[in-house]
Amino acid sequence: MSRAPFTPPYAPLTGIILGSFFVLWSFSPRIHLSRKKAYDAVYVGMAREEAAKALAERSVECALTEPAERCNVCHFSDPWRLYLIAVDSQTGRVARKDMLSLGPLSLNDTIKSRHSR
């Protein structure tokens, strides 16, 4: 079996290693694992049904689909943050949103809140 001229024997292995490195480098788990877009899709003052739909469209299953008497708070998380969305039981609208950043990349664990006035 003859080899093509000027092809070192390790060229295929080098190509596989460099290709694997490029694929792993270009894949950002924060983009695919983050649920921040779901959190951002819900705003204070939004109707309970709209909030539940917005979360479901972004693959976040939440107790907001339950009757208001059973649950008025939705908790969900990703590897970097914890999220809370609270609905006022009297008005049926989102009254509060909280996000807790976790991990070594946050300088300190911080809570960002949005409340209705």
DSSP string, 54-70: HHHHTT---GGGS-TTT
Residue 65 counted as domain residue: yes
| Structure-block tokens of residue 16 | 């596989």
Q: What is the pLDDT of residue 4?
A: 58
Task: Kindly state whether residue 15 falls inside one of the protein's structural domains.
Answer: no
- Domain containing 93 equals 34-115
Number of domains in the chain: 1
User: How are strands ordered across the β-sheet holding 94-101?
Assistant: 73-77, 81-87, 94-101, 110-115
Sorted by sequence, the CB contacts under 8 Å of residue 12 that are 6+ apart come out as none
Q: Output the pTM of the full model.
A: 0.63
In a domain, 70, yes or no: yes
**Within a domain: 22:** no
Is residue 8 in some structural domain?
no
Going residue by residue through the chain, which has 117 residues, state the pLDDT in tens, using 9 for 90 and above: 555 565 666 667 777 776 766 555 555 554 557 889 999 999 999 999 999 999 999 988 887 666 666 668 888 988 888 999 999 888 889 999 999 887 655 554 455 666 655
In a domain, 5, yes or no: no
Distances (CA, A) of 1 to 4, 15: 10, 21
Q: Residue 6 domain-assigned?
A: no
Distance CA 23, CA 85 (A): 36
Is 109 among the domain residues? yes
